[in-house]
Structure 1
Amino acid sequence: MKKGALFKTVRVLVVLLVSVAVAFLLVQLRPRAEKQERVSNGRLVEVVATRSESLPMVVEAYGTVAPREALKIVAQVRGEVVALHPDFIEGGFVRSGEVLVTIDPQDYELAVRRATVGIRQAQADLERLDQDVLNLNESLELAKADVKLALAEVKRLKKLAGKGMTAQSVLDKADRQYLTSRERLQTLENQLALIGPNRIRLQSQLEMARVAWEQAKLDLERCRIETPYEAWVTQKSVETGRYLSMGQPVGSIYRAGAFDIEIKIPVGDLTWFPDETASKNGLKAEVRFSETEPHRTWNGKVARIKAALDQTTRTLPVVVQVDEPIGSSSMTNSAGRMKPGMFVTVRIQGRQVDHVHRLQRHLVHDDDTVYLAVDNRLEIRPVTVLRRFKTEVLISEGLADGDKVVTTPISDAVSGMKMRLKTED
């Protein structure tokens, strides 16, 4: 038993020794790899080629839509409301010239009739005065003739009295007759002299009667409250049967399809408007309302630039007008038409600038530099930024067409470092 165990042990040791020897020979005889120096071709980056463009300078701002013309309707006469337009309700649309409210006209119709009678009376008084003038002139001619005859009679009797051919009593009677004729003539002349003031008084009365008629007619017309233009109703505060006092509000409307939007822009943005002052009015603008899906857009124009800066924000107010044609689809579509109170974005098309390069904002670094790949090396080039937007930057100087801008983020950028372009990898 001992010899058998010893034999097994020896056999195991021999196998182990042979295995170790074979392994050693394999290691010693294996082919050896040649050492090669590591060659660095640079960091792998992506690039985009630049291309200049001619771009209109868009000025973007925000504002609230307001009606260009809004009207608060009030009663101009007293009376009971007897009729209302069926569309005179909040949100209703009314045409120009339609009657919104009718006030009981009976009292005002009577006032017109009274004023008409007053005019006729004043005209009759003037006509009677004209006839009086004719009568006075005829009486005046007769009175003058009578005075002339009486005077001649007095002179004749005086000659006879001087010759003792007539009594003194006859002469005295002739003198009295002459004085009576003179007095009557004087009375007629005085009456004729008063014709002018009387005519002025009667003409004034006629004019006052006409004024009263016009006022009565105006009050009668004011019993019908009409719309001055196509309008949307924003408020109604009256019902049929209600008694209205003069000046009492009955509702509010605004002109349909005519809106103003006041936006405030930095003074520096005026640089992008045309140089000619007159051409600033009429600049095209796009108005966008983003709170609906799909977004709504309208075409507008710059109406005016206000003369003074806003004292709080130090910005310049600009008024943009939007006009929607009456009867257009946007007018009839309640969801699509513009409404007062909308908060909108306004983009004004300014002057065009040539040779501008447009880059994503993250490609222009804080010190206004751009990373370029030039001959597979990094160049950190300063550029002149024309404008900055939320997602992009416009560059006016520093880039040429075909320059390769590195779009891959590089945290440890060093000018001259090697790079490999992904398109060449």
Structure 2
Amino acid sequence: MRFLRQGLFGLFLLSLTLGLLAYAGQIVVSAVQERMAQEPRAPERRERVFAVRTVTAEEARIAPVLTAFGQIESRRTLEIRAQVTGILTELSPDFVEGGAVQTGQFLARIDPADSETAVSRARTDLDDARAEEREAARALDLAKDELAARRDQAKIQDRALARQRDLEDRGVGTLTAVETAEYNVVQARQAVLASRQALALAEARVDQAKTAAARAELALSEAERRLAETRITAGFSGTLSDVTVIEGRLVTANEQMATLVDGTALEVAFRVSTSQYARLLGQDGTLLPAPVTVTLDTGGLDLTATGQITRQSASLAEGESGRMLFATLSEAPAMKPGDFVAVTVEEPPLDAVIRLPATALGPDGTVLALGADERLESLPVTLLRRQDNDILVRGAELSGREVVSERSPVLGPGIKVRRLSPEANAGATLSLSPDRRARLRAYVEGDRAMPEPMRARLLAELERPEVPAQTVERLERRMGG
């Protein structure tokens, strides 16, 4: 009985296991059939929206700025040369490299001994010429008196001849007396002729004496000029450079001793392309006196000066292109001839133009603007100027639209976007410690090369409780700290 009971229990467990397996297989088969019977459905996709920064396109009257590079030059540069040969016997204490001189100031003297001797000789020759002139005048007066006397004698002989002829006609005189009187008349006339010749010689002597005196005066004037050339003075106020002489040195005629540069008559020479030059011409084809700003980078603190265009070069050298322009600077005390500077020229203003970031312009000459339902539209524009990181454009239906300021390859017409709020750009400021503030103030006050307007502006900024971070960074970079 026991064996039968255990056998029946095992058979029950086997039947239960087979039933469970069959049930599980049926569930699997029904699930597969139901899955295969269902229609396939694509997952719902949402449209991607890109975030963009935008700027509002506003038409305005804008004066474009042309940027170029040039060199500071002086309009008045004088080469100081020796006009005579000799030894330098005296030099001014200011006749050194970088010496500041004034108009007419004594600079140097060349040994004047030979020139003084020449002046004395010329004066002696002039005295001789004037003495000869006086003697010739006296001889002329004597010749005139002698001629008058001879003419009086000739008149007396003429009257004597007439009397003898009258006596002969009355039968009182003789033929011999008449012939003697005629002979005397002929001799008197010859004497008058000789006196006239003497008078002509006296007049010629006077003329020669005047010519000799004038020649002697010219020789004296030239000798005095040579003497004056031994003394060298400054032609105008300026600064000396390229000084190559010392006292006691022998200099030759036309030898360059130094260069005098007028530091107050500065101008900048800069080259522009032909297209840029064309934009600086007026309607009559003449060059406009456009205002310019010159900037000298001194390693953190920029020196600036203003002026205006005055002229252009007459021709181009071989291998050059564009145009060379010259602008006169009004005041540039911190700049020197030879400085390499950046030049910005204000062009004639343009009407109805729009300033946009340069990154807003696509390679196809279009910009992307927000349209209906926050979708982008492509608008063609005409590029007029590039201004650093900005561009000046014109476009139909562009005014007042919001334009994407930074394009990317994923953006295009029809793309849905959302605007990003503009970031505040008020400029970071720093709160300085007393020691740091005092160190910066001492540096600004001690920098003698800094223009006074810039010094005053920096000191005013350092007095504020919050100092602009850019100012602090520039000063400390220049200080090396």
User: TM over 0.5, yes or no?
Assistant: yes
Q: Specify whether residues 255 and 399 from structure 1 end up closer, same or farther in structure 2 by C-alpha distance, changes over 3 A only.
A: farther
Higher strand share: 1
Q: Specify whether residues 82 and 131 from structure 1 end up closer, same or farther in structure 2 by C-alpha distance, changes over 3 A only.
A: same
SS at match of 1:351: coil
Matched, 1:316 2:314: no
Residue 304 of structure 1 and its aligned partner are, at CA, apart by: 0.8
Superposition map of 1:23-62 within 5 A = 37=44, 39-40=46-47, 42-62=49-69
In structure 1, what residue type is equivalent to 2:376? L
User: Which range moved further: 206-215 or 112-121?
Assistant: 112-121
Q: In structure 1, what is the equivalent of residue 76 of structure 2?
A: 69
Separation in 2, partners of 1:310, 1:357: 39
Q: Specify whether residues 295 and 245 from structure 1 end up closer, same or farther in structure 2 by C-alpha distance, changes over 3 A only.
A: same
Q: In structure 2, what is the equivalent of residue 6 of structure 1?
A: none
Residue 158 of structure 1 and its aligned partner are, at CA, apart by: 5.6
Separation in 1, partners of 2:87, 2:323: 49
Q: Specify whether residues 339 and 74 from structure 1 end up closer, same or farther in structure 2 by C-alpha distance, changes over 3 A only.
A: same
Matched, 1:350 2:347: yes
Verify the 8 A CA contact 2:357 2:405 in the aligned structure 1.
no
Matched, 1:203 2:200: no
Q: In structure 1, what is the equivalent of residue 377 of structure 2?
A: 379
Matched, 1:362 2:362: no
Superposition map of 1:171-210 within 5 A = 174=181, 177-210=184-217
Separation in 1, partners of 2:283, 2:338: 33
Separation in 2, partners of 1:220, 1:258: 32
Q: In structure 2, what is the equivalent of residue 419 of structure 1?
A: 417
TM-score (norm 1): 0.80
Deviation digits for residues 338-390 of structure 1 (CA, Å, limit 9, x no counterpart): 22221111111121112221122122111111122212111122211111244
Verify the 8 A CA contact 1:281 1:304 in the aligned structure 2.
no
Separation in 1, partners of 2:324, 2:57: 37
Q: Specify whether residues 350 and 44 from structure 1 end up closer, same or farther in structure 2 by C-alpha distance, changes over 3 A only.
A: closer
Matched, 1:93 2:77: no
Q: Specify whether residues 36 and 152 from structure 1 end up closer, same or farther in structure 2 by C-alpha distance, changes over 3 A only.
A: closer
Aligned residue pairs: how many?
Answer: 379
Residue 398 of structure 1 and its aligned partner are, at CA, apart by: 4.1
Verify the 8 A CA contact 1:281 1:301 in the aligned structure 2.
no
Verify the 8 A CA contact 2:385 2:393 in the aligned structure 1.
yes
Q: Which has the higher contact order (CA 8 A, sep 6+)?
A: 1
Matched, 1:215 2:222: yes
Separation in 1, partners of 2:274, 2:416: 45
User: Which range moved further: 86-95 or 60-69?
Assistant: 60-69
Residue 274 of structure 1 and its aligned partner are, at CA, apart by: 5.5
- What residue ranges of structure 2 are gaps of 5+ in the alignment? 1-41, 423-481
269, 289, 300: which one aligns with 1:293: 300
Separation in 2, partners of 1:177, 1:184: 10
Q: In structure 1, what is the equivalent of residue 395 of structure 2?
A: 397
SS at match of 1:348: strand
RMSD: 2.9
Aligned-pair identity in percent equals 24
Verify the 8 A CA contact 2:64 2:385 in the aligned structure 1.
no
Verify the 8 A CA contact 1:302 1:321 in the aligned structure 2.
yes
Q: Specify whether residues 250 and 49 from structure 1 end up closer, same or farther in structure 2 by C-alpha distance, changes over 3 A only.
A: same
Separation in 1, partners of 2:215, 2:363: 82
Verify the 8 A CA contact 1:286 1:297 in the aligned structure 2.
yes
Verify the 8 A CA contact 2:268 2:326 in the aligned structure 1.
yes
311, 331, 351: which one aligns with 1:304: 311
Separation in 2, partners of 1:255, 1:61: 25
- What residue ranges of structure 1 are gaps of 5+ in the alignment? 1-34, 325-329
Deviation digits for residues 379-411 of structure 1 (CA, Å, limit 9, x no counterpart): 122211111244221112246343112245432
Separation in 2, partners of 1:311, 1:299: 31
In structure 1, what residue type is equivalent to 2:337? P
Separation in 2, partners of 1:113, 1:399: 91
Q: Specify whether residues 143 and 71 from structure 1 end up closer, same or farther in structure 2 by C-alpha distance, changes over 3 A only.
A: same
In structure 2, what residue type is equivalent to 1:320? A
Verify the 8 A CA contact 1:285 1:301 in the aligned structure 2.
yes
In structure 2, what residue type is equivalent to 1:98? Q
User: Which range moved further: 133-142 or 157-166?
Assistant: 157-166
In structure 1, what residue type is equivalent to 2:394? S
Q: In structure 1, what is the equivalent of residue 124 of structure 2?
A: 117
Verify the 8 A CA contact 1:383 1:399 in the aligned structure 2.
no
Q: In structure 2, what is the equivalent of residue 410 of structure 1?
A: 408
In structure 1, what residue type is equivalent to 2:253? M
In structure 1, what residue type is equivalent to 2:375? R
